[in-house]
Structure 1
């Protein structure tokens, strides 16, 4: 039996998926115990009790100065920026991606420009955005949109271009206009890919958000991490990083469930 043909059982798959997390957890526990044994006030690798105290302080105890529950205020601020930027990027990418994928003239006009723009490092544009639109919410949302839109456009355009030409010809034979072909033939088939592309851009979108919040913000998960780093508050930084990861994973899972629910046939194609 070749290894390439073997498949783990459900129990083995679950154990294998948990194994890397357990290795990281055990390694941290060993490292933390060793450092705390040498110095009980060590701040680099806090104990789990220290994490619990910090989480309680940030999430369930109102801040002395503002009266806010900082974790939830930061989460609301970051998610509002993140989803606003991703929403704008999705609408733009869907419209331009379909145009490039369907219309040869638009492909000749926009494809080289989008390809060039997608190579520009988005973080290099952050100072320009701050100068043009200021330090407020607009610059942060714009950075997310600028960062993920070109990649999404290129992916959707390639998906639309790769659709079987026979489908377009059949629709034309039945008298379908370009608008009808776009809505009834192309759009339903690229929407599942749009969701998958969006899932792939969640990580980069968080990166752009945290970078923008770190430079100029009054609330947000990235802002809080960079604020407390000056105090070496690892008991706050680690839980915030874990919380960001959990939010990103949750968004990814929800998008995948959305794709399977709305477009069940896309799952059959993947398993074919």
Structure 2
């Protein structure tokens, strides 16, 4: 039996999925124990008790100065910026991606420009955005939009281009105009890809958001991480990083479930 044809059972798949996480956890416990044995005040690898105390302080006790629950304040600020940026990016990418994918003239006009823009490092534009748009919310949202939109446009355009030409010809034979073909033939088939494309951009979107918050903000997960780093507060930084990861994973999972619920046939095609 070749390994390429070997499929693990359900239990084996679960064990294999858990194994890397368990290995990282064990390695951390060992490293933390060794460092704390040498120096009980060590801040680099705090104990789990230190994590629990920091989480309780940030999430369940009001801040002495502001009276806010800092973790939830930061989470709300970051998610508002993230979803605002992704929402704008989705709207732009869907329209421009369909135009490039459907219309040869628009492809000749916009495709080279979008391809070039997609190669610009978004973080290099951050100082320019702060200068032009100021240090408020607009520049942070704009960085997310600039960072993820060109990639999504190219992905959706390629998806539209790859649709079987026979479908377009049949729609034309039945009397459909360009508007009807776009809405009834192209759009339903690229929407599932839009969900997957959005899932792939969640990680980069978080990266751009944290970078923007670290430079100029008064609340947000990225802001808090860079604020406490000066105190080597790893007991706060590690939980914040894990919390960001959990938010990203949850968003990815919900988008995938939503895609399957709205377009169940897309899952059948994937498993075919």
Q: Tell me how far apart the structure 2 counterparts of residues 53 and 104 of structure 1 sit (CA, whole Å).
A: 60
User: Are 2:54 and 1:54 aligned?
Assistant: yes
Q: Are 1:195 and 2:190 an aligned pair?
A: no
How far residue 20 of structure 1 moved from its aligned partner, in angstroms, is 0.1
Across the aligned residues of Structure 1 and Structure 2, the Cα RMSD in angstroms comes to: 0.2
| Deviation per residue, 1:122-162 (Å, 9 max, x gap) | 00000000000100000000000000000000000000000
Once residues 123 and 70 of structure 1 are traced to their aligned partners in structure 2, the CA distance between those partners, rounded to angstroms, is 27
Match of 1:102 in 2: 102
Which whole-Å CA distance do the structure 1 matches of 2:148 and 2:78 have between them? 17
1-structure distance, mates of 2:264, 2:2: 32
2:22 aligned partner: 22
Give 2:9's aligned residue: 9
Q: Distance in 2 between matches of 1:9 and 1:56?
A: 40
Count residues with an aligned counterpart.
272
Cα distance in 1 for residues equivalent to 2:268 and 2:7 = 19
Map 1:153-232 to 2 at 5 A.
153-232=153-232
> Are positions 1:87 and 2:58 aligned together?
no
Task: Please report the TM-score for the alignment, with normalisation by the length of structure 2.
Answer: 1.00
Aligned to 1:247: 247
2:140 counterpart residue number: 140
- Cα deviation digits, residues 2-50 of structure 1 (max 9, x gap): 1000101000000000000000000000000000000000000000000
Separation in structure 1 between the aligned mates of residue 136 and residue 44 of structure 2, nearest angstrom: 33
> Which residue of the partner structure matches residue 127 of structure 1?
127
Show structure 2 runs of 5+ residues with no match: none
Structure 1 Cα separation of the partners of residues 255 and 8 of structure 2: 26
Cα separation, 2, equivalents of 1:138 and 1:261: 33
State the SS of the aligned residue for 1:218.
coil
Secondary structure of the residue aligned to 1:163 is coil
The DSSP-based 3-state class of the residue aligned with 2:40 is: coil
What is the TM-score with the length of structure 1 in the denominator? 1.00
